[in-house]
């Protein structure tokens, strides 16, 4: 999904910033991953950075308690994960006032319960997820991250827990709304999120003007709204949320054989040495059917703030 690569309460924040963002796992993403949107990004402000540091510290303190599965995610890439101040049966606390919700949160909870553990959600910047895993600040990454050869050099992945579809978000009344294949975007200015598969695949479009990657998914949607670019590469669940919140935007889905060539699955990442945990999570995943996974994603799409 997004995520060679990466992922963002993109749709989430986008809903509030642009609908008023229109919008963040080979998300999540991460998609389709995610291996993929609430305000721009989790640590874009000093307060967010402090919260991220505190969350990592709390997770480190919890490392001694092996009954707790510490799961890292952005909490900023709806419908996969987002931050909210409202609680429901799916939310998990991430600070004194904030909670995490989304497809990844539900999957993390189900997997932890299946292996007899409690779950702790740790909010981290996308680019810090693998480093935090390697530094034992978290035990797993469930954040719309796609399994790639590059990432496999650093961490181990389970089989995919979701598969998405790559699309491009455009202006509903723009020149590219009727496109049916990626080559229809030849000459267009297209952008993706930094360190994600959705940025890398852009060069599959011949003659494309590949805009430098946006630091966050909401920033890319803001650029689209402002007319600075013609399209944003996304995964379908995230795009659905963006368009639901912004009626002036539309989703371009591609005809068979005319889309991007990329892995659109997302998987759980663990440390290479944690083979027992990986096997446990793999077994737990095998107990959740594809239909159930799709139903959980549909529920997350309906629940995300972008649709509120």
Do 196 and 246 fall into the same domain?
A: yes
Do 56 and 38 fall into the same domain?
A: yes
- Distance, CA of 191 to CA of 185 (rounded, Å): 12
Dihedral angle of Cα 273, 112, 23, 125, to the nearest 10 degrees: -40
| Residue 90: per-residue pLDDT | 97
Q: Give the global pTM.
A: 0.72
**What does each C-alpha distance from 95 to 75, 112, 178, 219 come to in angstroms?**
12, 20, 44, 25
Do 183 and 214 fall into the same domain?
A: yes
**What does each C-alpha distance from 76 to 41, 117, 229, 304 come to in angstroms?**
6, 25, 22, 11
Please list the rounded mean pLDDT of every run of 10 residues in the chain (308 residues). 45 38 38 38 44 51 71 93 95 94 98 97 94 98 94 97 96 97 98 92 98 92 97 94 92 97 95 98 97 95 73
Is the residue at 220 inside a domain?
yes
Do 244 and 301 fall into the same domain?
A: no
Do 17 and 146 fall into the same domain?
A: yes
| Residue 269: per-residue pLDDT | 98
Q: How many domains does the chain have?
A: 2
Do 247 and 300 fall into the same domain?
A: no
Do 135 and 277 fall into the same domain?
A: yes
Is the residue at 3 inside a domain?
no
CATH number at residue 52: 3.40.190.10
Last residue of a domain, one of 252, 275, 294: 252
Do 152 and 300 fall into the same domain?
A: yes
Is the residue at 260 inside a domain?
no
81-90 long-range contacts (CB < 8 A, ≥24 apart) are 81/9, 81/105, 81/143, 81/144, 82/9, 82/11, 82/12, 82/37, 82/38, 82/304, 82/305, 83/9, 83/12, 83/38, 83/42, 83/123, 84/12, 84/38, 84/305, 88/303, 90/303
Do 291 and 245 fall into the same domain?
A: no
Do 69 and 85 fall into the same domain?
A: yes
**Which residues contact residue 17 at a Cβ distance below 8 angstroms, ignoring those fewer than 6 apart?**
39, 40, 218, 222
Domain that holds residue 239: 166-252
């Amino acid at each position: 999904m997004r995520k060679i690569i990466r992922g963002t309460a993109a749709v989430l924040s986008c809903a509030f910033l642009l609908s008023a963002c229109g919008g963040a796992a080979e998300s999540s993403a991460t998609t389709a991953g995610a291996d993929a949107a609430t305000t721009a990004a989790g640590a874009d402000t000093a307060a967010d950075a402090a919260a991220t540091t505190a969350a990592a510290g709390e997770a480190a303190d919890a490392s001694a308690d092996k009954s707790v599965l510490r799961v890292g995610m952005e909490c900023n890439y709806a419908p996969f994960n987002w931050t909210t101040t409202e609680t429901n049966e799916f939310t998990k606390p991430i600070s004194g006032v904030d909670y995490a919700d989304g497809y990844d949160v539900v999957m993390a909870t189900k997997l932890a319960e299946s292996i007899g553990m409690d779950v702790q959600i740790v909010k981290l910047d996308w680019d810090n997820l693998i480093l935090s895993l390697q530094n034992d600040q978290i035990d797993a990454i469930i954040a719309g991250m796609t399994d790639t050869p590059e990432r496999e050099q650093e961490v181990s992945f389970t089989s995919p827990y979701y598969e998405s579809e790559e699309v491009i978000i455009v202006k509903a009344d723009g020149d590219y709304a009727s496109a049916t294949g990626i080559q229809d975007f030849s000459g267009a200015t297209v952008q993706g999120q930094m360190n994600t598969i959705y940025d890398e695949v852009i060069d599959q479009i011949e003659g494309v003007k590949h805009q430098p990657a946006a630091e966050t998914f909401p920033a890319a949607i803001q650029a689209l709204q402002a007319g600075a670019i013609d399209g944003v590469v996304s995964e379908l669940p995230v795009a659905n949320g963006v368009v639901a919140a912004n009626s002036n935007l539309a989703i371009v889905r591609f005809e068979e054989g005319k889309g991007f060539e990329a892995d659109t699955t997302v998987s759980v990442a663990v440390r290479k040495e944690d083979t027992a945990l990986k096997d446990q999570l793999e077994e737990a995943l095998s107990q959740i059917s594809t239909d159930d996974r799709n139903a959980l994603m549909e529920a997350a799409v309906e629940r995300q703030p972008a649709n509120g």
